[in-house]
Chain A
Amino acid sequence: MQEDALWYEAAFVVGMTNALNVVADALAPQPGITLVAPVEASHADPKTAALFAEIRTFYASEEVPLPFRLMAHDAAYLAELWQAVQRAFSEQHLTRRVKEALAFAVSVTSRSAFGTAFHLAEMRRLGVSEGGVMEVLGVTQMFSSYTKIADTLQLEPDMHHIAPVDWSPAPGGRSSAP
């Protein structure tokens, strides 16, 4: 995990996971309360319907996940959001399976009911066993402990120097390594 490219990808996964979770958790319809009505596929305009079809294919699902349907009232916005999500979760330096595991850990940590269930289902769909789920949960739980102990005692970072610096340039750019 020494290449920065891995960490950029992981950060984008965290960002988009949180972006989807905040909308889904805040606006999930409750019995008798619908703050923003999710767009139903049967009522979608052609552009939105085409995006819904891409989303269903990406997740190999009959359903379009709630946050996309909530944001589908503006098809142009949904198109950009979907491109960003798809890029963040597509297999590049990190596998999609690992990205879903990261998104699951982030969702558990941020207490997102939507994200926890969604990314757990995605992990399982991509072949992660119950043992694998427990591995991710164990690390998530233990580091939820370490971080709070560190914060309580206001520990200062003392391990950042052990990681080597990646002097490779940005994608397509030129190196400025010393």
Chain B
Amino acid sequence: MPTVRLREMAEYPEMAQKMLALSKEWFQYDFHQPPAMSRVMAWDPAFGGPHGRAMKRAAMPGEFSRAEKEMVAALVSGVNACAY
């Protein structure tokens, strides 16, 4: 169980809600609520903003495809034994 209460999208200020709306676009999936990690990162847009942009820059298609990079991410998560 999370150690914090994850706020629903409506509980975030407008600017953060815009950030959260981007997760739908990024994952190309219509979430009922944005993923937990997106809501965590939107808690502090001054942190989550640049962190998310760095992630998107790293994950965008380049020499490796977006799908290949998602696989790298999944394996890194697995090695870190992160269930999320």
Contacts and interface: CB of A to CB of B under 8 A. Distances in A.
A135 B76 contact: no
A165 interface: no
A151 interface: yes
Contact of B71 (A6, A128, A145): A6
A158 interface: yes
A109 B4 CA distance: 27
Interface string B55-78: 101110011100111111111111
B57 A155 contact: no
Interface of A: 1, 6-7, 10, 14, 98, 101-102, 105-106, 109-110, 128-129, 131-132, 135-136, 138-159, 162
Contacts, number: 128
Interface of B: 1-4, 6, 27, 29, 35-37, 40-41, 51, 54-55, 57-59, 62-64, 67-80, 82-84
B1 A154 contact: yes
Given A14-B75, A132-B62, 9 more contacts: A14-B78, A102-B71, A138-B59, A139-B69, A146-B84, A149-B37, A150-B36, A154-B1, A156-B84
B62 A154 contact: no
B54 A142 contact: yes
A150 B84 contact: yes
Given A109-B80, A131-B63, A132-B63, A159 B27 contact: yes
B82 A150 contact: yes
A106 B40 contact: no
Contacts of A132: 62-64
B78 to A, nearest CB: 7
A74 B22 CA distance: 55
B84 A151 contact: yes
A151 B79 CA distance: 13
Given A14-B78, A145-B51, A150-B82, A135 B64 contact: yes
Contacts of B83: 156-157
B67 to A, nearest CB: 4
Nearest to A109: B79
30 contacts: A7-B71, A10-B71, A14-B78, A102-B72, A105-B75, A109-B76, A109-B79, A128-B63, A131-B62, A136-B64, A138-B54, A139-B73, A139-B76, A142-B55, A143-B55, A143-B73, A144-B80, A145-B51, A147-B76, A147-B80, A147-B82, A148-B80, A152-B3, A153-B4, A153-B40, A154-B3, A155-B6, A156-B2, A156-B83, A158-B36
